[in-house]
Every structure is written in C-alpha cells, then in structure tokens.
Amino acid sequence: MSIAYQQFSAFKSYSSFDKYSVFQFTRPSSTTAHNRGSRWIAPCAAIIPNFHLPMRSFEVKNRTSTDDIKSLRLITAIKTPYLPDGRFDLEAYDDLVNMQIEGGADGVIVGGTTGEGQLMSWDEHIMLIGHTINCFGASIKVIGNTGSNSTREAVHATEQGFAVGMHAALHINPYYGKTSLEGMVAHFQCVLPMGPTIIYNVPSRTGQDIPPRVIHSIADSPNLAGIKECVGHDRVKEYTKNGITVWSGNDDECHDSRWDHGATGVISVTSNLVPGLMQELLLKGKNPSLNKKLLPLMNWLFCEPNPIGVNTALAQLGVIRPIFRLPYVPLPLAKRVEFVNIVKDIGRENFIGDKDVQVLEDDDFMLVGRY
C-alpha cells in the first residue's frame, strides 16, 4: 500500500469537517510521455479531502448566533489611531469605541479598510480584535476583518479571530490575484464553517464583482449573516427580495437602501464622526432632510480614497493624534478648512469629542513609514 493511500485512509473519516481544497493531478505514463506520436490527454483533477482539521470550538454558550448579527443596523468601520512611533494608541482607540457605544452603534468592524487592517501585521490584527472583545464585547458586537486574498491566510486569521472571541468575521473576495467564480465560492466555503460571516463586495477596491450567483451558491450556509454590498440599490433589492440580509457599504446610499430597498442597515465610515445622527438615519424612519444634511460630510469623507478623509477629520476633532501610517497622508489644507465649515453647518454637538474643531497645519501631522 502506498504512503499516499495510507494517509488518505487515516484521515478519510475526518473529511466531513472541511471542504475539498487540495488538488492532485495525474501525470501521463512514461510510455505516453515518450511516445511523441501519440495525442496528449489533459490530466484529470482528483479532488482529495483537506487533511487539516479546522481549529474551531463547539462551545457555544457565549457565542453570538448568526441571527444576532443579522439584526444589527448600524455597524461602524472603526478607525485605528496611532502613537508617534506608529504603534496602536489603545487609549484613544478605547475612547473611540466608547463613543460609538454611547452614540448607539450596534457593532464595529475591527481592522477593516477604515481601520487600516491592510497596514497591520496579523499579530497586530488579532491582538486588536481580542482587545476589543475583552474590553467591549458585552456592549457592542465585534466583527473582525479576517479576510485575505490568500485562502490559507483567511482561514488561519479567522480561526484565530473566533478563538479570541470575535462575534463574526468579515470576508472579502480574493483581490488583485483574482480567481474564477468557482474559486470564489471555494474560498468562501473554506471560511464559512467557522462562525457568523459577512461577505464584503466592493469591486472598486478588489477589481472583481461578487455576482449574485456566487452568493446564492453559499446562501444555504447557516453561518452566512449577510452581504456588505457596494454595487448599488438594484443589487441590494435583488438580495433582500430573496431573504438575504444586506448592509449598504455606501454611506451616501444607505438611507434609501434601508427605507426603499430593504437593506438592514449600513457598515459605515461616517458614523465614526456622527454615530448618533447615523443611528437616527437608520432607526427612526425615513428622513430625507437629515440625509440631505449629512451628504456634504459623506462626500467630503470620500473625496480621496478611504480612510484618508476620516483620519484627517478625527485629528481635526482632537480625538486622535494627527499621525498617519504611510502610504496615507492627510487631506490638503483647503479640504481641512472645508471640514471645519461642514462641522459648523451640521453642529459641533453632533460630532464625537468635546474639543473645538481645528484646521491643523501641514506641520501638525506626522507621517510614519516604519513602525
């Protein structure tokens, strides 16, 4: 009996724990390989079970159910603040999370694009998820961004995130090194068994849309909480009419998505600044006047790629140090002046923090390239 067959037999009984993800290809026989006159036949893929058992726990008494995640209305993609040497400013971070709780947010995304997970090591990433759960998990739902364009990394980070107590995971489709739609489904199927999961579709960043047929392929998973959808109202409506939970990924569309197209809520950047007003926008009935009042702020926040705007705004409000991890840099002076005027129009009392909003000069900011 071959070693490979012995391994297969030894692990065969555990194959139900995970999806098939290791592929083995047959080689042409030596006779075929040396017979140049014969017609070459493409090898057939033999799918064998993944020999790695999932590192997960079935202890559920303190776990959050998928239905609990589906009920969240306002989820803030929380900002990660820094100390002058580039490490996390946990004191400022704790203040930000507390202000989200006081403002009525239901959940936070930790280490998302706004939180600059893309600039973190995985050690930093998992530490911050664990810290947030440890300090605030009883007051707000903690959703860890443990997605990656590498399935191996996504699986490992998600295992660790749930092990330290996160309530749910956020997963993006593989970006840059894009895969096929079948590969996308296989990628999500590898992480869904671990716990409640939100799939994030943002083609402007990934370069690839997650079409509805991919979502419908995984919709039967009991751990699929829903979709953070950035494509627009038509896509939101397509999912909601089929009973799939959707959070708008676009702040400027979230009011109409919620009240006209059936979205549950929003995963928001703007709520970093005005959580109370965003909560009112989503929970207290249709309010086009409030939506119109907030649109200048939303447009300002996204005049450059996120999180540049929110980083600049929080520094101007005095709730974080004006420190940026490169490659992000603050918005230019003219935009900083514009933000002061926006705050005055909306009302300083509606924004987090208690300091006067400042313009800040270029020299007030610190850019950190090594940390």
Read off the tokens for 324.
Answer: 């940026």
Residue that the structure tokens 């660790």 belong to: 160
Residue of 288, 281, 276, 277 whose CA lies nearest to 263: 281
Provide φ and ψ at 162, rounded to 5°: -70, -30
Side chain identity at residue 253, one-letter code:
E
Name the strand (E) or helix (H) holding 291. helix 288-301
User: What's the rounded Cα separation, in Å, for the pair 244 and 262?
Assistant: 10
Count of CB atoms situated within 10 Å of the CB of 185? 20
228 catalytically annotated: yes
Q: Which of 5, 228, 284, 344 is catalytic?
A: 228
Q: 3-state DSSP call for residue 92?
A: helix
User: What's the rounded Cα separation, in Å, for the pair 24 and 48?
Assistant: 7
93 catalytically annotated: no
Residue of 142, 141, 171 whose CA lies nearest to 155: 171
Residue of 166, 160, 149, 165 whose CA lies nearest to 200: 149
C-alpha gyration radius of the chain: 23
User: What's the rounded Cα separation, in Å, for the pair 16 and 311?
Assistant: 45
The pairing of strands 197-201 and 168-172 is: parallel
Q: Which of 20, 200, 241, 284 is catalytic?
A: 200
Which residues are part of the catalytic machinery? 200, 228
